[in-house]
A and B are shown apart, each in its own frame.
Chain A
Amino acid sequence: MTDSDVVEQLRAELARAAAELPPDAPMAVDLDLPRIEEEAE
């Protein structure tokens, strides 16, 4: 299997699974933003 085959297989598998998610399903990313007042302290 070539590098581009590997990538295409992964892309397609994730695209199929993600299509089942609600359209507004968020990413697993936590910005962890402090409030401005907390930062000032």
Chain B
Amino acid sequence: MTIEEAAAALANRSVSSVELTRACLDRIERRNPELNAFLTVTAEAALEQAEEMDREIAGGGQRGPLHGIPIAHKDNVSTRDVRTTSGSKIFADDVPRVDAEIVWRLEHAGAVMLGKTGMHELAYGITSMNPHYGPVRNPHDPARIAGGSSGGSAAAVADGMCFLATGTDTGGSLRIPASFCGVVGVKPTYGLVSRDGIQPLGLTLDHVGPLAATVRDATIALSWMAGREIDIEHQPSLAGLIIGVPENFFFDGVDPEVSHAVKHAAEACIHAGVHIEHVIVPDMDLLNAVSRTILLAEAAAIFEPWAGQRADFGDDVLALLDQGRMLPATAYVNAQRLRRELIGAFRGLLETVDFLLTPATPTPAPLIEAAGDIRLLATRLVRGMNVIGFPALAMPCGKTQSGLSIGLQLIAAPWRDAELLNAAAALEDALS
């Protein structure tokens, strides 16, 4: 059941928020021991909140489409009186006194919080194989990773434990788990959604967004998270749009099944009236080097106060923090100068096409034992968009022969989030 369907059922009283919440809690109880998608479940508070939402509906009031809908927050999002670990040992006992802005916005929308989802340690990685809290497993094949860093959020949505979950994205952390788990992850334009109350990682790279089962559900969530009206038209259309499909970089070394599925989506666009333009994208290897440099430096600065507690970090995160401390300041300055040039180059490209269509990840979800060193591979198609701040989303576009999810990425010019989501909704319709 989607958020749209649940909202309609709540409005006509064919289901209650308590029933939806109980169903999600039952699912969590049954499935979480294997998947480890939730770190903390706030069952009692969720049921109390759901009862209150039902009383409001019975009294004739419905706040909007999220009223009474069970959701979850990534564990780097501050939740008042609920432990918020950021998947780390250093924050293992952190209980915030106030909510992050997106938490109160979604609570104001009437959403019912079920708990907090697992993640890669400090959001600094993409496997969600967490050394302190255990690995998050992929619901479609628990022998595989869910992706990350918002792995618990993606797995929880994909498995039906909740209707929507929040996440963060510094180098692909919404889009990678969305691709691996077969859900929709939206990284909006930099600054569209408040980062207030969220543990930072890359000060100039961090984005906040939703993970949901469909583009329409993700749009509802993003609209409330941003506090802006973002709507999908009654019948969104792709007709007349120009979509750029990169000739360079984005399909290099990509798994053939992924490549085929994304090209099939491009063909579906053509049938829906899109003009596909084959384009050359700016230097993506340089953009990725800029991304790595800025993130190494910014993350090392953020976690400098804990630099002496080496035993409290997992090996992969510690190595990245060490590299960040070694990086000369000249490299950071050069990265920020090159960043400005690359933003201009991408802006120029997106003046010639409406959107770019690419794979989201070069492969489907890898097996846990093979996922030790896939960070650079898994982030190579997505992390550049964090450098330039343009909106980008990942959505499902098929499955491999063995049933693994394949995700595509759609990218737009800054502040064209609504247009991006409408095009994605139309593409979702075309692919269904």
Which residues does A use to contact B, with CB under 8 Å?
3-4, 6-7, 10-11, 13-15, 17-18, 21, 25-29
CA distance A6 to B321 in the complex (A): 12
Number of interface residues of B (CB under 8 A): 26
> How many Å from the CB of A28 to the closest CB on chain B?
4
Which of the residues A3, A7, A14, A26 comes within 8 Å of B335, measured between beta carbons? A14
Question: A17 CA to B322 CA in the complex, in Å?
Answer: 24
- How far apart are B207's CB and chain A's nearest CB, in angstroms? 15
State in angstroms the CA–CA spacing of A20 and B328 once bound together. Answer: 19
Contact in complex: A3, B323 (CB < 8 Å): yes
CA distance A26 to B334 in the complex (A): 9
B333's partner among A7, A10, A27 (CB-CB below 8 A) is A27
Other than the given A7-B328, A15-B331, A26-B337, 7 more pairs (CB < 8 A) read A10-B293, A17-B338, A21-B341, A25-B341, A27-B333, A27-B339, A28-B336
Which chain A residue has the least Cβ–Cβ distance from B387?
Answer: A28
Is there an interface contact between B343 and A15, defined as CB atoms closer than 8 Å? no
Q: Does A10 contact B327, Cβ atoms closer than 8 Å? A: yes
B343 contact set on A, CB distance < 8 A: 28
A10–B341 touching, CB < 8 Å: no
B340 at the interface (CB under 8 A from A): yes
Known contacts A25-B340, A28-B339; A13/B322 CB under 8 A: no
A18 x B334 contact (CB < 8 A): yes
Chain A, Cβ-Cβ closest to B292: A10
Tally A-B pairs: CB < 8 A.
62
Q: How far is the CB of A4 from chain B (nearest CB, A)?
A: 6
Does B290 sit at the interface, judged by CB under 8 A? yes
Q: Which residues, 275 to 321 on B, are CB-close (under 8 Å) to A?
A: 283, 286, 289-290, 292-293, 296, 319
Please determine whether B289 and A21 come into contact, CB atoms closer than 8 angstroms.
no
Interface string of B319-357 (1 = CB under 8 A from A): 100110011101101111111110100000000000000
Residues of A within 8 A of B327 (CB): 7, 10-11
Partner of B340, one of A10, A15, A27: A27
Evaluate whether A7 and B326 lie within 8 angstroms (CB atoms) in the complex, with A14-B289, A15-B331 already known: yes
A15 engages B334 (CB within 8 Å):
yes
CA distance A12 to B319 in the complex (A): 20
Q: Across the interface, which residues of A come within 8 angstroms of B296, CB to CB?
A: 7, 10
